[in-house]
Structure 1
Amino acid sequence: MSTEKCFANGSATPGPVPKGHIRLYSMRFCPFAQRTRLVLNAKGITYDTVNIHLKDKPDWFLEKNPLGLVPTLETPAGEVIYESPITCEYLDEVYPEKKLLPSSPFAKAQQKMMLEHFSKVTPYFYKIPMGRRNGEDVSGLEAELKEKLAKLNEDLANKKTKFFGGDSITMIDYMMWPWFERLETFELQHCLGSTPELKKWTARMLEDPAVKATMYSTDTYKAFYKSYVDGKPDYDYGL
């Protein structure tokens, strides 16, 4: 179902969630929803996807999630969970095979703290391209982003591990990945600067099966974001 066209206002309510499945309400190009898709794929969870037209949301979706945000999960029992970190932690608890969060409370807290730090990085991926389009000087913002990425590089170098939680991929890697996947789309590749460990991490992430299963080409992302900036987002681009 993950390649189906999005549901807009006036569309029929999808049928009940099949037993043994979980449903993801998503949007194909949303980095926050991609976090949840990465976790679903990494853990081998059986799920179906209902893509939502975020500019013209169905009333039935707003009844499930009054905030109208993706990702949103729904279980066969009608339980609804939303917000990307919450959906991902929920999946890790309910489907204990291949745990992505550490079992140690301190290590788990460390990942959550790192995610909190990373939440201060993501706005740059929107502010800088928007500033450029408006003819603003974004050199200061770019310098700040370079500084934040250099700090991530330093963290990884100090850990001496392949990934941010050790030598295998854990939750924090998937939480950060969608924005690195879009660096080229937002023309921010140069902000990686001299971050050798971060560049190695990026190359390793690109080899991960869950990453491969959820990513789109840069050309596809660029086409979607152009339609978004033009005020007519083509959520079904490429279908």
Structure 2
Amino acid sequence: MTGSQRSLAKGSAAPGPVPEGVIRLYSMRFCPFAQRARLVLAAKGIKHEIVNINLKNKPDWFFEKSPLGLVPSIETSDGKIIYESPIVCDYLDEVFPKNKLTPADPYEKAQQKILLEKFSVVTAALYKVMHAKKENTDATEVKAQFFEKYQKLEEALTKRNSPYFGGESVSMIDYMIWPWFERFTLFDALEFLEKTPLVNAWYERMLQDPAVKETFTEPEVLVGFAKLYFEDKHRCGVITALTKVTDRRAI
């Protein structure tokens, strides 16, 4: 993996052509959706480079790389552009068949996609918890709403009777879900892990996964970033400073 810690903002020059045999990922260091793509790239050992984007001050040229102005987006050496995190991850898994993450069985593949759809409800509830925390309002009700949806994950692991959401080993669904668990500190949600022993065991296993270790950001760094972000002090230099605190890898 190659790349720069600097986040490119409005007025910056567009990067040059993507080198042959390399996938370029347009990312943002603290974005959970972009982390999905980084997890897949790491898990599959795909040669790639990362270009970080300042999402609060996007370069004009970035909309050519991601029409919606969102990360992740990937670019190939022959100029193909793919965006939206599930689509990006599916593309990478299909084009690079080594270390396949998506089940070959159509039914199992469908079950993972169904669970991912259900998880989108969990993430929506999580953001309500974070908003209540940010506004310093009583979060009792929104936390209860979150837990009602979150415990469906415990039920999913109970029904499957396996250590991972996709079976006996890490698969695509685990990487699609993981980034939000890494951010539980932001959402005041770590307390819920103790109430769901199977999810908690999964969480501990995922912490030992090589791709998770490679893309992991320490909780205190995420908390520091979120504080600056929501105070609207989020700037390219802030991202760089926070990244340097925790990350010894080039990004």
User: TM-score when scaled to structure 2?
Assistant: 0.92
* SS of match in other structure, 1:191: helix
Partner AA of 1:66 in structure 2: P
* Structure 2 CA distance for aligned equivalents of residues 238 and 164 of structure 1: 30
Call closer, same or farther: CA 1:91–1:223 in 2, change over 3 Å: same
* Structure 1 CA distance for aligned equivalents of residues 20 and 106 of structure 2: 32
C-alpha deviation, 1:67, in angstroms: 0.7
* Structure 1 CA distance for aligned equivalents of residues 230 and 161 of structure 2: 40
CA deviations on 1:189-213 (whole Å, 9 max, x unpaired) are 1123421100000000000000000
Q: In percent, how many aligned pairs have the same letter?
A: 52
* Structure 1 CA distance for aligned equivalents of residues 225 and 95 of structure 2: 34
Hey, what does 1:45 align to over in structure 2? 46
Gaps of 5+ in 2: 245-251
Hey, what does 2:249 align to over in structure 1? none
Matches within 5 A, 1:38-77: 38-77=39-78
Moved more, 85-94 or 134-143: 134-143
Q: Is the 8 A contact 1:145 1:191 kept in 2?
A: no
Partner AA of 2:120 in structure 1: S
Relative contact order, CA 8 A, sep 6+: which one is greater?
2
Hey, what does 1:81 align to over in structure 2? 82
C-alpha deviation, 1:13, in angstroms: 1.0
* Structure 2 CA distance for aligned equivalents of residues 148 and 65 of structure 1: 31
Establish whether residue 238 from structure 1 lines up as the match of residue 239 from structure 2. Answer: no
Partner AA of 1:235 in structure 2: I
C-alpha deviation, 1:2, in angstroms: 4.4
C-alpha deviation, 1:62, in angstroms: 1.0
Hey, what does 1:100 align to over in structure 2? 101
Moved more, 128-137 or 95-104: 128-137
Moved more, 211-220 or 228-237: 228-237
* Structure 2 CA distance for aligned equivalents of residues 215 and 64 of structure 1: 25
RMSD of the TM alignment (CA)?
Answer: 1.2
Moved more, 199-208 or 139-148: 139-148
Matches within 5 A, 1:105-184: 105-184=106-185
* Structure 2 CA distance for aligned equivalents of residues 63 and 3 of structure 1: 20
* Structure 1 CA distance for aligned equivalents of residues 160 and 60 of structure 2: 47
Partner AA of 1:149 in structure 2: Y
C-alpha deviation, 1:38, in angstroms: 0.2
**Larger % of helix: which?**
2
* Structure 1 CA distance for aligned equivalents of residues 161 and 35 of structure 2: 27
Q: Is the 8 A contact 2:9 2:54 kept in 1?
A: yes
Q: Is the 8 A contact 1:124 1:141 kept in 2?
A: yes
Task: Return structure 1 stretches of 4+ with deviation > 3 angstroms.
Answer: none
* Structure 2 CA distance for aligned equivalents of residues 219 and 23 of structure 1: 28
Q: Is the 8 A contact 2:4 2:51 kept in 1?
A: no
Hey, what does 1:28 align to over in structure 2? 29
* Structure 1 CA distance for aligned equivalents of residues 203 and 6 of structure 2: 30
Partner AA of 2:43 in structure 1: A
CA deviations on 1:26-54 (whole Å, 9 max, x unpaired) are 00000000000000000000000000000
CA deviations on 1:100-127 (whole Å, 9 max, x unpaired) are 0001111111111110000111122322
Q: Is the 8 A contact 1:146 1:193 kept in 2?
A: no
* SS of match in other structure, 2:123: coil
* SS of match in other structure, 1:73: strand
* Structure 2 CA distance for aligned equivalents of residues 118 and 2 of structure 1: 31
Partner AA of 2:96 in structure 1: Y
Moved more, 154-163 or 135-144: 135-144
Moved more, 46-55 or 184-193: 184-193
Partner AA of 1:159 in structure 2: R
Q: Is the 8 A contact 1:23 1:50 kept in 2?
A: yes
CA deviations on 1:56-95 (whole Å, 9 max, x unpaired) are 1111111222210000000001100000000000000000
C-alpha deviation, 1:141, in angstroms: 1.2
